[in-house]
Amino acid sequence: METIGELIARRRAELGMSQTELAAELCAVANRHTLTRGEVSRWETGEVRPGPFWLRHLATVLEVPIKDLRLARRYARNVSASLDLGLFTTLSTVDTIAELGRADVERRDFVRSATYSLAAVSVPGMDWAGMQERGNLARVGGVRVGMAEVKAVTAMTEFFAKMDDQYGGGHARSAVAAYLADDVAAYLRGSYSDKVGRALYRAAGELVYLLGWMAYDDEQHGLAQRYYIQAVRLATEGGDPLMRSTVLRSMAAQAAWLGHGPQALRLAEAAAEGARGKAHARAQAFYAGMQAEAYAANKEPRRAREAMRIAEAALSRADSQSTPGWTAGYVASSFTYQTGLMLISLGDLAEAEKQLEHSIEIRGKGKNRSQAMVIGQLAEVQLRRGNVEQAASTAGMFLDLFNQIKAERARTALRNLWESLQPYQDVATVRDWMDRAALAAST
């Protein structure tokens, strides 16, 4: 089913009309001169819906039965009402993640229109909808679920996570979302013991968390936030405080990326507090490092540096420990990158450059997306320090990785580098880079 905006855009394209031409045709048949290209654009993006007056003229110009337009308009209204899905929904967690997965796969309008909500991260303690541990998770009904099914979910999550790390969040997310909606939701609605239920909730939470990260990496921030909130719900209901803190920490990183410093700090502090006394050393470093970044974003240098010292000390204790879960990826290259981000916020560009360079040097192979993002940051810092040719050279390293990644964040980084280097087009190395960048952006 299409929304009214999607129907208008499709028929306009099929008829070979521009938005300006459609507006002119509608004005002619309606004998009015009040409709503009901008209004047509707002219809197509779903910002507004055409009223009854314009529906009959749209039917004429687009050669579409008016009943189809009315149905599409009604559907668009329902879509608008459903955009709270995953934020303030009254559905159960299992029903919500199933609906989110389906919407991610089947409803482009939802993915495009789901916006990031500051209100959803403003509740003290992150206690969305009174979330609490459910106690005994044993359940009867539906397919029989055992540890074999739980291990299968974990294995699939690990496989998709490796693909994401190498190729970016825009690669295969629809497959992950379909797996969540079709298979994992069925397991959660099945029959299992309390022991299996806890393991299943953790495995499902990690898959939902991965989907949140993939959406974030693809700059679908509203969708990412909805997945993250449901991962928090699964962790809370399943009695897994470390998983909950891990998701809150990623929500803090998202808020910081979007420039919401106070919210980032609130989330980072909630993550650290929720794991206090429960986290192993590497996890402690993971949470403290995010606190440092958030403190720096809020211009609190003393607290930022103290939090980073705590992270460094915790990470040094973790070197000989085997670490389960997502925090296993927080290694020396991650720490030095986060230190670089903190120093950028604090204005210490010289030391930030050293930290970013070190992060690149020690980062392992098969980390194309994360390596590209660090290289992009390094080029920006070098340019801010006045080293134009060095920045252009580093930006070239970014391009070497760019075409191997499918992630909108990487495209954002490319656009930022273009804007930063454009004033220096008289430098030969910059001109060469811009030629390469233009070709990369077009593919």
Q: Which residue positions in the chain have pLDDT lower than 50?
A: 81, 123-126, 128-130
User: Which of 321, 342, 364 is a domain's end point?
Assistant: 364
Instruction: Give the count of domains, the chain.
Output: 4
C-alpha dist (Å) from residue 34 to 47, 50, 53, 274: 18, 13, 13, 56
Residue 207, pLDDT score = 96
User: Which of 205, 239, 273 is a domain's end point?
Assistant: 239
71 and 95 share a domain?
Answer: no
232 and 118 share a domain?
Answer: yes
Rounded to 5°, angle at Cα 349 from 345 and 355 = 90
Rounded to 5°, angle at Cα 291 from 209 and 229 = 25
Alpha-carbon gap, residue 195 to 232, rounded angstroms: 20
345 and 356 share a domain?
Answer: yes
Residue 134, pLDDT score = 62
Alpha-carbon gap, residue 214 to 227, rounded angstroms: 10
pLDDT digits 0-9 by tens, 248-282: 999 999 999 999 999 999 999 999 998 888 888 99
Per DSSP, the residues of 63-132 read T--HHHHHHHHHHHHHHHHGGGTTTT--S-HHHHHHHHHHHHHH-HHHHHH----SGGG-SGGG-GGG--
Residue 86, pLDDT score = 78
Alpha-carbon gap, residue 239 to 245, rounded angstroms: 12
Residue 289, pLDDT score = 96
Phi, psi torsion values for 139, nearest 5 degrees: -145, 145
Q: For residue 385, how many C-alpha atoms fall within 13 Å in the half-sphere facing its CB?
A: 20
430 and 374 share a domain?
Answer: yes
105 and 226 share a domain?
Answer: yes
- Domain holding 57: CATH number? 1.10.260.40
- Residue written as token pair 């707002």: 42
Tokens of 4: 């009214």
Residue 275 structural domain: 240-364
Look up the pTM and report it.
0.77
28 and 158 share a domain?
Answer: no
